[in-house]
Each structure stands twice: as C-alpha cells, then as structure tokens.
Amino acid sequence: MKADEAGELMDSEKSDDAFKTRTAIMIAFLAMLLAITGLGGQNAAKEAVNNNVLASNFYAFYQAKNIRQTSFALAADDLELTVAANPALPPEAKAAMQKKIDGYRKNVARYESEPDTQEGKKELLARAKVLEEKRDHAMRQDPYFDYAEVLLQIAIVLASVAIVSGVGWLVIGSGLLGVAGTLLMINGFLLLVAIPGLE
C-alpha cells in the first residue's frame, strides 16, 4: 500500500466517523424530542380523563341539586294547595305552614344559585362547562403528540440504519421526518394550526 493510498483510506475513515458522529448526535436529539413528545401526550391524556371525571361529578351534583330543588318546590306547592283548600285552618297552623312554604321556596332559590359556595345549579353548570372545555382542549392536543411520536420514532430508526449502512439519504429522510414530528409536537403544545383529520 502506498502512502497516498493510506492517506486516502484514513481520510475516508475520518469522514465516515464524522458521518456516524453527526448522525448519532441527531439520534440523541431526536430521542430527546421523543421524550418531550411522550410527556406531552401523557399529560394531555391525563388532563382529558381528569377533566372528564370532574365534569361528570359536577353534572351529577347538578342533577342531585335539581332533584332536591324539585322536591322542595313540590312540597311548597302541596302545602300551598293544602292551605288554599282548607280556609278553616287555625291561624297558627296556617302560619306554621307558611313558614314551611317560605323555607321550601328559600331552598329552591338557594339550589338555583349559591354564589358564596359555588354549589348552586347555575354555578355547577358553569364549572362543568369549563372542565369540558379543558377536556376538549386536551383531546385536541393528543393526536398531534401521537403522530409526532410515530414520526420521531421512525426518524430515529432511519438514522440508526444510516449509521449501520452508511447510506446518506436515510439521514436526510430521518431529518425530514424529525422536523415534521417536531412541528407536530410544537402544535400539540400550542395548537397553532388545526390540521384536518387530526382534530
């Protein structure tokens, strides 16, 4: 082997090592993005489930309040009809019944709206709607993270194959998929663009 051939061989090995090093660094960067994407996807899924459960709880509480409110309204109506149907009732009985009617009507109004405790029907419904919006937001985020994860995983596989095979165009394909996955991940966090078929 001549000296110039040995020099060319060493230069070839150096460029091959540089290719492998750059590709390995790209794989590490893609793996980091994949980890961030996985975390974002898990958080979106948990947020969707948690907010759905909380919204369901508020709707159940709303229904319970509605049933109690209806019971009090029916009891008040019944007492009012009893008073109206019995004009001969003693004044003490009428006063006692009116006191009960007033208490029932007060409960009916309290169940409709309780700004202090935020547990009236009006407030419960508003709180449930806020949680539904949060759930829907998280559900819109989730597909972007899912597709970003797939693209980043494929990009890592292509880059790994490029290191083993030395085929440069696989790195280019890996880079393109990595960019697409990164853009989907960013959109998953920020929801800047609504992509048809993903929402």
Listed by start position, the domains of the chain span 21-190
Q: What is the pLDDT of residues 59-103, one digit of tens each?
A: 999 999 999 999 999 999 999 999 999 989 999 999 999 999 999
- Residue whose token pair is 């309040």: 65
Instruction: Extract the residue ranges of the chain whose pLDDT is less than 50.
Output: 1-3, 6-7, 9-10
User: Model-level pTM?
Assistant: 0.81
Other CB atoms closer than 10 Å to residue 94's CB: what's the count? Answer: 14
- Matching residue, tokens 């009916």: 108
**Residue-level pLDDT at 187:** 97
